Every structure is written in structure tokens, then in C-alpha cells.
Amino acid sequence: MAYPRRLLDDQESVTVDLHPHWWFLAGPVAAVALSIAAAVATLLAIDAGTTERTVASWAALVALAVTSMWLVVRYSKWLTTHFVITSRRIIFRTGLLAKRGIEIPLDRVNTVHFSQGVLERLVGAGDLLIESGGESGQQQFTDIRQPDRVQRVIHAEMDARRERPGHEPPADVAGQLERLESMLMRGTLTPEEFDRQKQRLLGP
């Protein structure tokens, strides 16, 4: 299910539209598989027609129903969660009935960090941490597919937007510079990242 185009602005194009990584579904899938395996092993070990067999059958059925419901709910959340990069903004939207989301204009993005554990690196998943000049300040997004590639795409879209004819830089450059300096002092940014982001704000 793609991100609804009716929610985009005029002349806005989508560069990346991602559901969470399949790792998001690993827990419930493993639980369903284990409940099936446990049910088969238990029924094979208990003689048919006994009270123990009946109790074990009902317990196995309940376990399978609970884990299957967990999988259905989790899959529904996976299907309705989008991490989108457009030519103007970063959009996160999730929820089937009750929805929530956040939008970060590319003009306000200061830095983008990604992180991957050992297992996450093996499966190609990870987290993104986006520092912006908005009220939210810092947003973390989990279970992102190939987060290093997504980081590069965000930087490329930021560069392309600045070079687009008629583009006006954000009005609160001074405020964003102050934020970058505070991030440098806290150690969130390296001096090289600070210089690069400062150059992006001030332009050539």
C-alpha cells in the first residue's frame, strides 16, 4: 500500500516510501511458529482420548489464537506505517483507525544520524535520528530499511531543494545556527558536521 498521493502538495514528488523493515514482524511470526511447534510436540507426546490430551489441545488452540491475533495486529500496523521522503519534507504516518504522524520540512533538517546493531546490520534494518529546527527538535524512527541509504537520500534531497530555482532559505537561520552550536557543545555534532551544516544554512 503506497502513501496516498492526495496527501501531497502540488508539484511535490515522492523519493522514498517505506514500510517498516520485515524485522518489525519477527516477534509475532516467531511466536506463531513456536506455538504451532509446541502444540504438535505436546499432542504427539500425549495419548489420544485422555483428559491430558483434551486440556493440551485447548491450551494449544488458545496459544495459537493469541499469537495469530498478535501477528494480524502487527501486520496491520506494518501495512499502515509509512516513512516517506519527498522533494519538500520527511513524513512519518502510522495507524489504521486512530492515526498519528509527523512532518519535518527539509529546510529545517539539521543532521541525520543512523544506528545499527550487529543483528540489525545483518538483516539490513536500523534506526534514524533526525535533528531539526522545529519544535520537536529530535525525532527517532525505528525499523528503517537500509538506514544508511535513507540518510544519503535525505541529504541528496536537501541539496537538490537548495539548488532548485526560486527556493528561499528558512527565515530562522540565526536560530538554527544557535541550535547547531549547542549540539556541537553537547557533542551531538562533530566539528566537521557542524561546518557542513553551517555551510548548508548560509549557502555559498
pLDDT tens digit string along 103-159?
888 888 888 999 999 999 999 999 999 988 765 678 899 999 999 999 999 998 888
pLDDT tens sequence across 21-80: 999 999 999 999 999 998 888 878 877 777 877 888 888 889 999 999 999 999 999 999
Tally the residues of the chain: 204
- What is the residue type of 135? E
How does DSSP classify residue 185?
H
Q: Which pTM was predicted?
A: 0.73
- φ, ψ of residue 93 to 5 degrees: the values are -145, 135
C-alpha cell read off for 118: 550487529
